[in-house]
A and B are shown apart, each in its own frame.
Chain A
Amino acid sequence: NAGVTQTPKFRVLKTGQSMTLLCAQDMNHEYMYWYRQDPGMGLRLIHYSVGEGTTAKGEVPDGYNVSRLKKQNFLLGLESAAPSQTSVYFCASSPGRMNTEAFFGQGTRLTVV
């Protein structure tokens, strides 16, 4: 049982390049989330999804897009990367509304130069 898997684990991008981060969960969870973690700022919610085919904006959505075409996958896209998007990105999933059983992936460290 893999839980929540993020790919890639590391990536370096040049300013203006695009990329997609993939999150996959095998627990049949309805809810999925993308967070970014920056030093001294905790985790900030970028986008989330409450089910297949749905997405919603979180606290810091600008510069990112997401898609949830399949229940088990939640993709985070950067259309034109900027140095301010250098961060560690975490995906998480949970069965439903209450987060007592939220599971996190191991993170993707992204550097934009």
Chain B
Amino acid sequence: GEDVEQSLFLSVREGDSSVINCTYTDSSSTYLYWYKQEPGAGLQLLTYIFSNMDMKQDQRLTVLLNKKDKHLSLRIADTQTGDSAIYFCAETPWYSSASKIIFGSGTRLSIRP
């Protein structure tokens, strides 16, 4: 069945790059997403990538997609304290009749001074 997996925690030093990884099982995914959840808040769409792309860059964010290995990563350059949050990887299968999103369990990113 469909599954999205992420590690639960990541700790990086302020100013370093953060790389959050995700694996998924559904090879028919059309969209793959990264959502950010700050404490006490809902999820906000951070970025997304179509399954026919390999990379997408948006300011400090770089998304890499390896379709062969079904691996998605989010790189945050020059990590700041404001980047502390939970990051969710998610996918939408192409066959979904409605906008069904499958979420991973989230990676909690903490920043060390």
Contact = CB atoms under 8 A, between A and B. Distances in A.
A3 to B, nearest CB: 9
B100 interface: yes
Interface in A68-113: 90, 92, 94, 96-102, 104-107
Contact of B98 (A40, A44, A50, A105): A50
Residue among B43, B88, B92, B99 with max Cβ neighbours from chain A (10 Å): B99
Contacts of A105: 42
Given A40-B105, A42-B106, A43-B88, A56 B98 contact: yes
B92 A98 contact: yes
B44 A104 contact: yes
Contact of A45 (B42, B45, B101): B101
A40 B8 contact: yes
Say which size band chain A's interface belongs to.
20 to 34
Contacts of A104: 42-44
Contact of A48 (B33, B40, B48, B98): B98
A44 B4 CA distance: 12
A94 B105 contact: no
Interface in B19-66: 30-31, 33, 40-45, 48
A2 interface: no
A4 interface: yes
Contacts of A100: 31, 33, 45, 48
11 contacts: A40-B105, A42-B103, A43-B88, A45-B101, A48-B98, A98-B92, A98-B99, A99-B31, A99-B33, A100-B31, A102-B101
Given A43-B43, A92-B43, A97-B99, 14 more contacts: A33-B99, A41-B105, A42-B88, A42-B103, A42-B105, A45-B101, A50-B98, A56-B98, A96-B99, A99-B33, A100-B45, A104-B42, A104-B44, A106-B42
